[in-house]
Structure 1
């Protein structure tokens, strides 16, 4: 087929992929390979892989079988090998889901705002661009990534449903929270930041009110105001929204819109970054 353009949000908990055929997601847990005495299925996204010399398991199986108790690489940068594995498996899964033979790919992926710097962006691009050989669940495939863009998480989500004026984005992730300010479609550095906590790194994942208070305190330091136009996205967005609204009364869910042919799909807020990245990729590489 001709070059495929994708937006890939390679999250620490879940990867979200958007492209011309629709969306996909999978659990991004990764663990080292071992010989299994009993082959048991843990989920539809179970993958046994060897990519560029690294062997392991990914998906639900890695959540249960990880020897070291943490099957994801957390932190405020995506410039590490787990990101490469996540992105390549995302491309592989997208092709399998939609029955397309993927060879050449151009994509935009994300990086937390605080680490959206030239050195980290270049590291991600150098890691991804090129030809990669994948062995996944007994099948072999070569994927050539032609070009890669790296967008800031949170501000990238804005492009999934852009509007004028001053817009604040709260992107609640598993490892970080990205807070972005866009004014007249321009990113504002001194009113944006990454907070080094997320839903998988806080002590009590069920205490959403406490997490929201942390977000509100940190965004207040950025001089966000109570009546600002605030949009919330990420996997926990729907549950988090009422707690954000306790301070930002006008806060609402970000509703990403993906156009496939003549049809427009209003997607779940968890896909905001991937759809925003896809729109940026189409603009850059289409």
Structure 2
């Protein structure tokens, strides 16, 4: 094998990567480089990088060391430089962990539904496609990105657990919540959107019942029916699901699975988009 296909969910809180050999995840905080007097270790995902002339830190170290906050860029679009850094680091980590001899990569990544526009998708593809030489923790790696596709988040998660009929998806992220409608495996724009709030951007991120009420209140504007089949995913799925199910009685958690060898591994719902993106990537590029 001289090339690889991946699904990459480059979230504001964590990146999730799914491929033929398994999964990977790391904190996506990014901050500018500075000389450290004391080289403290903050986590196994600490990274010092140099990408296209930009030097910085990523991972847990950036969460603690960024002088302008927690090193995270929120918003309803991923057509920006931090996404490029997150994706290239995600590819580097996956290759280093599973297949260090491979350089050529094709993948599907995501964009919030509200900004899943052609110009935004083209901007993401343009900044990622092609050859890259990056340095991470002193080691240089060459990455050749052959093919890239950008899928809508939430709808992407549907492909981790696809079925026919009318399906609603609530994808709860750190900076946004994606509300997707899929009918007979087709995304329906008029009944889908992105809410510009997430777990890390609300006043009290521990009040899951309040966050659930906000999600339900906003989805009712999309004319969703209380009895619709609904899939829930994201990092806080297990905690918030009971409050969403109080309103959407036919809701369930997405439990994405991957095949490894002769067995099947069930993953946390936070991997739903990445698993869905990988399924789409295999269909498009395989």
What TM-score do you get using the length of structure 2 for normalisation?
A: 0.98
SS at match of 1:64: helix
**2:2 aligned residue:** 2
Does residue 181 (structure 1) correspond to residue 186 (structure 2)? The answer is: no
Superimposed CA distance per residue, residues 62-101 of structure 1 (whole angstroms, 9 cap, x where no aligned partner): 0000010131111000000000000000011111222432
State the distance in 1 between where 2:149 and 2:205 align. Answer: 32
Q: CA deviation at 1:262?
A: 3.6
**1:68 aligned residue:** 68
How do 1:99-248 and structure 2 match up within 5 A? 99-248=99-248
State the distance in 2 between where 1:79 and 1:99 align. Answer: 28
Please provide the CA RMSD for this pair. 0.9
Superimposed CA distance per residue, residues 19-58 of structure 1 (whole angstroms, 9 cap, x where no aligned partner): 0001110000000000011111000000000011110000
State the distance in 2 between where 1:276 and 1:16 align. Answer: 11
State the distance in 2 between where 1:3 and 1:102 align. Answer: 6
| Structure 2 runs not aligned, ≥5 long | none
2:160–2:272 Cα contact (<8 Å) kept: yes
How do 1:10-29 and structure 2 match up within 5 A? 10-29=10-29
Q: Which moved more, 1:156-165 or 1:91-100?
A: 91-100
2:62–2:70 Cα contact (<8 Å) kept: no
**1:42 aligned residue:** 42
State the distance in 1 between where 2:150 and 2:70 align. Answer: 26
**1:78 aligned residue:** 78
Superimposed CA distance per residue, residues 99-145 of structure 1 (whole angstroms, 9 cap, x where no aligned partner): 43230000000000000000000000000001111110111101010
2:31–2:66 Cα contact (<8 Å) kept: yes
State the distance in 2 between where 1:138 and 1:251 align. Answer: 47
| Structure 1 runs not aligned, ≥5 long | none
Does residue 96 (structure 1) correspond to residue 103 (structure 2)? The answer is: no
State the distance in 2 between where 1:100 and 1:168 align. Answer: 39
Does residue 270 (structure 1) correspond to residue 278 (structure 2)? The answer is: no
State the distance in 1 between where 2:8 and 2:41 align. Answer: 26
| Count of aligned positions | 286
State the distance in 2 between where 1:18 and 1:159 align. Answer: 13
2:158–2:276 Cα contact (<8 Å) kept: yes
What TM-score do you get using the length of structure 1 for normalisation?
A: 0.98
Q: CA deviation at 1:184?
A: 1.0
